[in-house]
């Protein structure tokens, strides 16, 4: 019951993070923001998320199963028009890029229906690369640009800033992915430790039981030997 409540709360939080509120839709298109989320997918269940996207942008979707038996899940990605873009079955991780995107809500679904016992802990990340950022940089350059007064060309400065921004974003994405990999490896190690500890305790108990039986058997042999009457 607690796990079902946690899963419902996680789903509500994910929808709150990924979807814009109804009151803001009339004010214009939602801002483009990269996002990451980790949620618990119960056994025999399917959960879907919707992400708004502008037109003519790049959307990169990356997911990974961090914990759960088999470390696998079914994944599908649909366009705003309902076209199935990606369909994977029982995968531990995946990276997919949609370029260019369509204006609308993309549908991401994670399916654990094939598992009747084990729940899965799933991490996924959405990364946007929009042309609007380039337009903003160009607008900024037009405002502050006196090319006659500068020794270095503004185009070189813009290129350096853009390269630095791209590398920083990629570094953040790689760190996030490494953090997810570390969590999955830690869960595997903890599971192995629990199994090793359990079977070690079983072996120790069996050895103690055998030792007690041997002692009792030897004592019975000596107790059965009585002096022969003359």
Looking at domain 31-132, its CATH class is mainly beta
Does residue 59 surpass a pLDDT of 90?
no
pLDDT tens for 85-112 read: 999 999 888 889 888 888 889 999 999 9
Q: Cα–Cα distance between 111 and 107 in angstroms, integer?
A: 13
Whether the Cβ atoms of residue 158 and residue 90 lie closer than 8 Å to each other: no
pLDDT recorded at residue 47:
92
The domain limits of the chain are: 31-132, 151-194
pLDDT-derived band of residue 158, with 50, 70 and 90 as boundaries?
confident
pLDDT recorded at residue 77:
93
Does residue 11 surpass a pLDDT of 50?
no
């Amino acid at each position: 019951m607690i796990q079902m409540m946690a899963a419902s709360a996680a789903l509500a939080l994910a929808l709150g993070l990924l979807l814009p509120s109804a009151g803001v839709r009339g004010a214009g298109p939602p801002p483009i923001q990269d996002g990451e989320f980790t949620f618990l997918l119960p056994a025999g269940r399917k959960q879907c998320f919707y992400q708004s996207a502008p037109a003519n942008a790049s959307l990169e979707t990356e997911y990974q199963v961090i914990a759960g038996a088999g470390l696998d899940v079914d994944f599908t990605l649909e366009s705003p028009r309902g076209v199935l873009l990606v369909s994977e079955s029982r995968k531990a991780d995946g990276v997919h890029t949609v370029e260019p995107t369509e204006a609308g809500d993309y549908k991401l679904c994670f399916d654990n229906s094939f598992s009747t016992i084990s729940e899965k802990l799933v991490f996924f990340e959405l990364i946007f690369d929009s042309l609007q950022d380039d337009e903003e940089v160009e607008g900024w350059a037009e405002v502050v640009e006196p090319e006659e007064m500068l020794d270095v060309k503004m185009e070189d400065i813009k290129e350096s800033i853009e390269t630095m921004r791209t590398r920083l974003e990629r570094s953040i994405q790689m760190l996030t992915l490494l953090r997810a990999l570390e969590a999955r490896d830690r869960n595997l190690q903890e599971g192995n430790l629990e199994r090793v500890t359990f079977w070690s305790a079983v072996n120790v108990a069996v050895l103690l039981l055998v030792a007690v039986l041997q002692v009792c058997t030897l004592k019975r042999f000596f107790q059965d030997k009585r002096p022969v009457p003359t």
